[in-house]
Amino acid sequence: MTLSRRQFTSLLGLTTLGGYASVAYALSEKKEATHEEKEATNDKKSVKATTPVTDDDKISYERLWIDLLAGNKRFVSGTPQARELIKTRQELVEGQHPRVIVLGCADSRVSPELVFDKNLGDLFVVRTAGNIADPIALGSIEYAVEHLHASLLVVLGHEKCGAVAAAAAGGKMPTPNLEAIVKKITPALKPLQQGGASGDLLTSLGVEANVRLSARDLVKNSEILRHELDAGKLTVIPAVYRLANGEVNRIG
């Protein structure tokens, strides 16, 4: 049985409401439904999982980015906002509506929710070593764009990234999985190496180069992201986190 993209995202939304039992039930019901019934059922599920976004609800990426920077400024100064976590947790039971996606590195020092001083439900975060989007990570981002209507995607790298340093070192990785990470980053470093960069300088410059490459790869490998970008419904911002002072800086 093959699910359409629309049906799949609707079923993903169901997991936030009723768990995997809801998915199993929906799949069993699907077998007996007519084409018209299936479309109507999926539309109802989508409405349940996510409130439709109207023109009045849309927030420009400039406002979203300014809000992120304001939160980062609070983080840097050590003055985060007080949070009503219990109330927010209860409010989010019925669904999530994040406007911002962050593709970040899995490094334990760079938590986007803390870095941008955000609460539960504010950010849709995908984290991998080297802020790389493999098919699973990219599928997660597509879900946030198409089903949750997020309109800003921040690709967040950071100083002294271990994955970038490993790629810059150029040695053979001990496992195929680690080798896959390095293989994705290496193309970002080649122009720098051709320009004479090496050692710590290569790693430092490579962090920004890898962020730019990750951002380009996201768009290159996703029809959904390209469509939303062309329609003006999505903006991608590459940025780098500074470990020493906690600042996030947008890069060109």
What's the rounded mean pLDDT across residues 43-47? Answer: 37
The CA angle 6-105-126, to the nearest 5 degrees, is 20
Start-end of H helices in 106-220: 112-115, 135-146, 162-169, 176-194, 199-220
Same domain? 134 vs 38: no
DSSP-assigned letter for residue 92? G
- Model confidence at 6, pLDDT cuts 50, 70, 90, reads low
Digit-coded pLDDT (tens) for 118-141: 999 999 999 999 999 999 999 999
User: Are 42 and 57 in the same domain?
Assistant: no
Q: How far apart are CA 113 and CA 125, in angstroms?
A: 8
Considering the chain, what is the average pLDDT of its residues?
A: 84
Name residue 172's beta-bridge partners. none
Query: What is the spatial distance between Cα 15 and Cα 140, in angstroms, rounded to a whole number?
Result: 14
Number of compact structural domains in the chain: 2
Position 98 pLDDT exceeds 90: yes
Q: Which two tokens stand for residue 125?
A: 């975060």
Residue 50 has, within 13 A of its CA and on its CB side, a CA count of: 26
pTM: 0.78
Q: Are both 131 and 243 inside the same structural domain?
A: yes
Same domain flag for 23 and 74: no
The SS3 call for residue 238 is strand
Same domain, yes or no, for 104 and 161? yes
Regarding whether 156 and 37 lie in a shared domain, the answer is: no
Share of the chain above pLDDT 70, in %: 77
Q: Are residues 35 and 93 in the same domain?
A: no
Task: Based on the fold, state whether residues 215 and 159 are members of the same structural domain.
Answer: yes
Q: Name the CA radius of gyration of the chain, rounded.
A: 20
Do 119 and 133 belong to one domain? yes
> pLDDT value at position 252?
78
Whole-angstrom distance, CA of residue 252 vs CA of residue 250: 7
Domain of 45? 1-49
Same domain for 168 and 128: yes
Residues 15 and 137 in one domain: no
Sign (positive/negative) of CA torsion 206, 212, 213, 218? positive
Q: Hey, what are 107's tokens? A: 């490094």
Return the CATH number at 66: 3.40.1050.10
Indicate the pLDDT class of residue 108, thresholds 50, 70 and 90. Answer: very high
- Residues in a beta bridge with 126: 103
Length of the chain: 252
Same domain, 87 and 15: no
What's the pLDDT score for residue 1? 53
